[in-house]
Amino acid sequence: MITSINGLSNTPIQETTIQKENTTENINKEGKKDKSVSEEKFDYSKYMFRPWTDNVKEFIDIDQSKEGWITDTINRIDNMLSDYPMKERRALASKYPPETMEEFRIGELQSYMDWLLTNSVDGKPTINGFMIGLGTAEQEAELEDFVKSFPEGT
């Protein structure tokens, strides 16, 4: 039996119904995918407007009171991220917005590790590191007193 001539179908109602069903199924599938992605975005979006150091402390325990904590933290982060090549870690650190919570975690930890490396030498804070809070309270007070000892205008 001939069902179509020159692209015209003799059963338009049946074909339209099948097309609608297929469209509905595709929308449902896409909706489920979108929902899981949006849930994940919601999961890490709460971290986006918090202090950076608070985010990092959720992923790794940092004890700033013990000697050599900077070196220890750098080594621990490096071990945590050792499954990822350095190029990928740096790319994820600069990616915004991250697509998954894992990308966000890798980016935050890599950025924090780079920040520690930039503001310390041999595991000890540089002067800039002291000024941004990497030292102990006594060290920060000592640096502030030292800066105040300069004559005004220098």
| Range in 32-36, 77-81, 101-105, 145-149 with the lowest mean pLDDT | 32-36
Amino acid at 38: S
Q: How confident is the model at residue 6 (pLDDT cuts 50, 70, 90)?
A: low
- Judge whether residue 32 has pLDDT over 60: no
Q: Which helix (H) or strand (E) holds 124?
A: strand 124-125
Output 27 or 147, whichever has higher pLDDT. 147
Whether residue 99 contacts residue 105, with contact meaning beta carbons closer than 8 Å, is answered with no
Amino acid at 130: F
Output 59 or 17, whichever has higher pLDDT. 59
Whether residue 44 contacts residue 101, with contact meaning beta carbons closer than 8 Å, is answered with yes
